[in-house]
Amino acid sequence: MRHRIIDWDDAYANGPNIPGGERWPGLWIEPARAYRQALEGAGHASLDIRYGDGLRNHLDLFLPGTEPAGLVVFVHGGFWLRLDKSYWSHLARGAVEQGYAVAMPSYTLCPDVRIAGITTEVAQAIEKAAERVAGPIRLIGHSAGGHLVTRMVTVTSPLPEEVRSRIVRTVSLSGLHDLRPLMHTAMNRQLNIDRQEAWRESPALLEPVPGTRLTCWAGGAERSEFLRQNALLANIWKGLGAETEVVEEPDRHHFDVLDGLADPLHPLTQALLS
């Protein structure tokens, strides 16, 4: 059956195509605040650690009760245009209860910076967190964050080699790996993606570093473009020597696909920590 995308804005619109989708991101605010407050009260959180010169260049670091087994860095989404680290704190629970430290950075948003600039900031955040926590590093990002974490394990990664070589697993959760389709959307008036930047910043158009282990995970009820982008990177990078897997979690959409990260026994958490 032939199919061609005509409405690119609808193809990437999540909330309007999910029943009750308007509830997000508001549903995350209170559980995130409560978790952040609880860990800070227990002495297991360092909040608003500065990693760069920008106003939004801060990260939160959540710690287990024992010496961390390693570092997880979670990079949030929002189409590089919206949100910050405060919405996601409770999603650190799964990894923290498995003995890992979890860093969650904010970053400058478009149009105040280009996507390439956000890539640089995320690398700076990972480097700062890596200074504080020893051991292996695992990256996970949601939506635009999926783009940003996979960009970290490409051959043109801005990460210094001593940090990049510590990355043992990357999970792109509903990630955007080819930026070219987004040039057709109305939001590109703020993103300002042009063809040159799309080729420089799209993980699907770049090579992975040797030894990359990649999981592309999406909800089975996501928009077809997110499912296509999810499978795309794993398919391409497998052919370039990376170890890859694709997961479509049944009955999950673009927002509740994150919920598994709050559960230390959920398959998503287990995949991240494997």
Residue 2: its pLDDT value, please?
A: 64
Domain membership of residue 97 (yes or no) is: yes
Q: At what angle do helices 144-151 and 115-132 cross, to 10 degrees?
A: 70
pLDDT given for residue 26 in this prediction: 84
How many Å apart are CA 204 and CA 206, to the nearest integer? 6
In a domain, 22, yes or no: yes
The range of the structural domain enclosing residue 222 comes to: 8-273
2 falls within a domain: no
- Residue 154 CA from chain centroid, whole number: 15
Q: Is 259 among the domain residues? A: yes
CATH, residue 210: 3.40.50.1820
Please check whether residue 3 lies inside any domain of the structure: no
pLDDT of residue 160: 97
The structural domain count of the chain equals 1
Is 1 within the bounds of a domain?
no
Instruction: Answer yes or no: is 143 within a domain.
Output: yes
Confidence at residue 31, expressed as pLDDT on a 0 to 100 scale:
97
pLDDT at residue 52, rounded to an integer: 97
pLDDT, one tens digit for every residue, the chain (274 residues): 567 888 999 999 988 888 887 888 888 999 999 999 999 999 999 999 999 999 999 999 999 999 999 999 999 999 999 999 999 999 999 999 999 999 999 999 999 999 999 999 999 999 999 999 999 999 999 999 999 999 999 999 999 999 999 999 999 999 999 999 999 999 999 999 999 999 999 999 999 999 999 999 999 999 999 999 999 999 999 999 999 999 999 999 999 999 999 999 999 999 999 9
Cβ neighbours of 113 (radius 10 Å):
18
Which residue, 104, 121, 115, is CA-closest to 54? 121
Q: What pTM value is reported for the model?
A: 0.96
Give the chain as a DSSP string.
-------HHHHT--GGGSTTGGGTTHHHHHHHHHHHHHHHHTT-EEEEEE-SSSTT-EEEEE--SSS-S-EEEEE--STTTS--GGG-GGGGHHHHHTT-EEEEE--PPTTSS-HHHHHHHHHHHHHHHHHHS-S-EEEEEETHHHHHHHHTTBTT--S-HHHHTTEEEEEEES-----GGGGGSTTHHHH---HHHHHHH-GGGSPBPTT-EEEEEEETTS-HHHHHHHHHHHHHHHTTT-EEEEEEETT--TTGGGGGGG-TTSHHHHHHH-
In a domain, 152, yes or no: yes
